[in-house]
Structure 1
Amino acid sequence: MNVQEPFVLDLVVPIHGNLPLNRLFFETLLQNTRSRFRLFVIDNHSPDESGDYFRQQKGDGFEVTVIQNNVNRCYPVSMNQGIALTSSPVVGLLNNDILVGPEWDLPLVEFLLAGKGDIASPIGLEHLPERSLEEFLFYRWKLILKKNYSPDPFLNYQKKIQAMYGDFSIFSRQITRKFQNSAFPGIMGHCHLVSRFLLDKIHGLDVRLQAADWDLYLTAAQMVDQGILRTLPMILGSSWVHHFIRATDRKKEKEPFLCEHPPHWSPEAKWGVEAIRNYWPFLEQRPGFRKSPIRRLSKWLIKNKARYYLKNPNICELLSWKID
C-alpha cells in the first residue's frame, strides 16, 4: 500500500474578489510549488466567483479549503482564521497578488525545517541584495503597472508580466541563481513562511495592526533580544516571488472591514519610534529618515534609466545575464 507523504507546508491567503488575479496566483502556485501543500483560502465576502473558483481546485499533491466569511475581515483576523486550521511544521502567509517563481518554496521550507530560522521570505521587487537593481526593477514595474495591455483583466495581468520580464520563469531562475548565496534580515509582507514553533509562541497575529508584517518582524526581533529565537527573520536570495503591488483598481469603492476589535494601531503606536529605529532592518523606512541629496539624485537617475529601457522586454539580456 502506498503511504501518502505528510504535508509539510500549509499556506493561508485572504481574498476579496478579483477573480483574474486569483486565477493567475493559483496557476503559478500550482505550477511552481514543489512541496505538497494545503491552501486555506479566507474568502472575505468576495463580490465575484473567486470562492467558487478555489473550491473547484482538486488534484494530487495539494488540497484547497475555502473559509467563507459573510463580511470583509481585515488582514490579521483573516490570517488568524487560516492559521488556526493549520498543522504543518511550516505555514506560509501569502497575499493573492503574487506570482511565485519556480521552486520558490524549497529554499524557504528547507531554511525553517533545518532550524536555521523561524521566518523566511523570498526576494522580490521591494527588497533585493543589490539596491540599484531593486530600484530599477521596482520603477520598471510601476511604469508597466500604469499601462493597459488588454480589455480582458486576466490577459491584461499576463501581458504586464510579459512586458516586465519577457519569460517570467527564465527571469526567476536567473535572479535566484545570481543571489542564491545571499540572505539578509527582513520580511516580505506579501509572502513569508513561519515555523510552527513561532506561531505557537505568539498565538497568531496581533489583530490590532493591519501592518501585520511589520509587527511580526518587530516581535521576532524582540524575541531574539530576549533569547527566545536565535535568528532574525531573513530574506533569501534563492527564492523569488513577484508582487503586483496595488494592482487592483483603486478607484473602485472597497467594502469596509467589519471586525470585532478596536481600530487598528500604527506600528509606531504599539512599538514606539525608538524601538522601530532599533529593530526595523530597512534604513529608509525607519521613522524620521531623510534622504541625502546624493541619494535623491541616484534614485532620479535610476527612475530615468527604467523609463528609457521600458520598451525592451528581454530583461535578462538588458541586465547582461547569460541564459543557459
Structure 2
Amino acid sequence: MDYAITFACYNQVDYTRQCIESMQRVGTPLERLVVVDNASGDETLAYLRGLPLGKIIHNRDNLGCGVAWNQGALELQSEWTIIMNNDVLVSPQWVQGLIESATRHQLDIVSPAMIEGPLNYDFAAFAQQARQRAGSTMRLGWAHAVCLAVHQRVWKEAGYFRASPKLLGYEDTLFFHEARKAGMQVGTTGASWLHHFGSITQSAMKRERGLKESQELGYRYNHRLLHQPWLERKMDKVRLKRQLRQWREDEIAQLGFSLWGSSTSGALSW
C-alpha cells in the first residue's frame, strides 16, 4: 500500500506521545509519518526529534490546521494520505481497514469508526471485536475530519485545504464541501477503529482566548465561505442529522453498537 500519515500538533505533548505510541504498538511504520508542529511551546519538538519519523516540519508560528495538513500531504506524496488528529489512539489493521474499504467501495475519502471521550474502557479489546463484527459496515456519503484517508485524485479534482490560520477549525467543512462539489465519494468504515480523546487542542486554544467550551473557536461567519444560501445550508444540516440517526439505529439493530460511540458517561453509549 502506498500511503503517508500526517498530523498537526500545537502543544499537548502527552496526547501526541500516546498517539505515536499506539502506532508503534500496532506496527505502523513511523517513517510514513510526517508531523507538523505549529510552534508548540512545550516539549513537543524535543519529543518528536527523538523519533525515526518520515519528517518533522516546525512552523515558527501557529499557522493553523489547513496550512499544516497541506504541508504534511505535500512532504510525503503518496497514493493515499491519512490526515488525522494527534489526540487519538489507533488499533491493529487501522490503515489496511481504511484503504481496503475505500478500494472495495470505490471511495475517494474514507474515515474510521470511532469512540470519543475518556479512555475508561479496554479500547484494544473493543476495537478487535468491533472490527470483526462491523468490518463490512459502511456509512456511504459521510466522513469526518478526526481522521480521513484521502486519495491523490482528490487533491487534483477538489484541491487542498483552505490555508488560512483564521479559520480555526473550519478547514474541514470547506474541504468536504469542495470534495462534494467535485463529485468525490466519501464514507466511514467499521473496518478501522480509533479512540478520540476529543478536540484537545481546540479546547486548549479556547482557554487561551478566554472562551467557554460551548463557544465557537472560529469566526462566526465562516459559513459565508461556502457561498451557500441560508435555507440550503439549513436543509443540509437537517438531512445529515436525520441520516446519522438512521445509520445509528440500523447499526445498533444489526451489531449492538454503532460506528460512532461515546465513553463520556463512564460506559460506552451510542
- 1:48 is displaced (CA, Å) by 1.4
Residue 219 in 1 paired to residue 178 in 2? yes
Map of 1:151-170 to 2, 5 A cutoff?
161=119, 163=120, 165=121, 167-170=122-125
Residue 25 in 1 paired to residue 1 in 2? no
The answer to whether the 8 A contact 2:9-2:38 is kept is: yes
RMSD after superposition: 3.2
- 1:72 is displaced (CA, Å) by 1.0
- 1:71 is displaced (CA, Å) by 0.8
Map of 1:106-185 to 2, 5 A cutoff?
106-113=96-103, 116-125=106-115, 141=117, 145=118, 161=119, 163=120, 165=121, 167-184=122-139, 185=141
Q: Distance in 2 between matches of 1:14 and 1:49?
A: 15
Compared CA separation, residues 108 and 274, structure 1 to 2 (3 A): farther
TM-score, normalization: structure 1?
Answer: 0.64
Compared CA separation, residues 100 and 268, structure 1 to 2 (3 A): farther
The equivalent residue for 1:205 is: 161
Compared CA separation, residues 64 and 52, structure 1 to 2 (3 A): farther
Map of 1:289-308 to 2, 5 A cutoff?
307=265
Q: Secondary structure at the match of 2:35?
A: strand
The equivalent residue for 1:156 is: none
Query: Structure 1: which 5+ residue stretches go unaligned?
Result: 1-6, 126-137, 146-160, 256-262, 287-305, 320-324
The equivalent residue for 2:191 is: 238
Query: Structure 2: which 5+ residue stretches go unaligned?
Result: 211-218, 245-263
The equivalent residue for 2:260 is: none
Q: Distance in 1 between matches of 2:178 and 2:242?
A: 20
Q: Secondary structure at the match of 1:282?
A: helix
Residue 85 in 1 paired to residue 75 in 2? yes
- 1:115 is displaced (CA, Å) by 7.2
**Greater percentage in strand:** 2
Residue 11 in 1 paired to residue 5 in 2? yes
Residue 188 in 1 paired to residue 140 in 2? no
The answer to whether the 8 A contact 2:30-2:54 is kept is: no
In the TM superposition, what whole-angstrom CA distance separates every residue of 1:295-323 from its partner, at most 9, and x where no partner exists? xxxxxxxxxxx85xx3x7xx6xx99xxxx
The equivalent residue for 1:72 is: 62
Q: Distance in 2 between matches of 1:196 and 1:275?
A: 30
The answer to whether the 8 A contact 1:119-1:192 is kept is: yes
Compared CA separation, residues 113 and 34, structure 1 to 2 (3 A): farther
Percent of paired sites with the same residue: 23
The equivalent residue for 1:53 is: 47
Q: Secondary structure at the match of 1:82?
A: helix
Q: Distance in 2 between matches of 1:284 and 1:114?
A: 26
In the TM superposition, what whole-angstrom CA distance separates every residue of 1:118-161 from its partner, at most 9, and x where no partner exists? 10000113xxxxxxxxxxxx5xx3xxx4xxxxxxxxxxxxxxx2
TM-score, normalization: structure 2?
Answer: 0.75
Structure showing greater radius of gyration is 1
Compared CA separation, residues 213 and 252, structure 1 to 2 (3 A): closer
Q: Secondary structure at the match of 2:32?
A: strand
Residue 96 in 1 paired to residue 86 in 2? yes
Compared CA separation, residues 19 and 35, structure 1 to 2 (3 A): closer
Compared CA separation, residues 26 and 265, structure 1 to 2 (3 A): farther
Compared CA separation, residues 33 and 183, structure 1 to 2 (3 A): farther
Compared CA separation, residues 114 and 16, structure 1 to 2 (3 A): same
Q: Distance in 2 between matches of 1:211 and 1:103?
A: 30
Paired residue type of 2:195: H
Compared CA separation, residues 89 and 173, structure 1 to 2 (3 A): same
Compared CA separation, residues 85 and 247, structure 1 to 2 (3 A): closer
Q: Distance in 2 between matches of 1:37 and 1:116?
A: 27
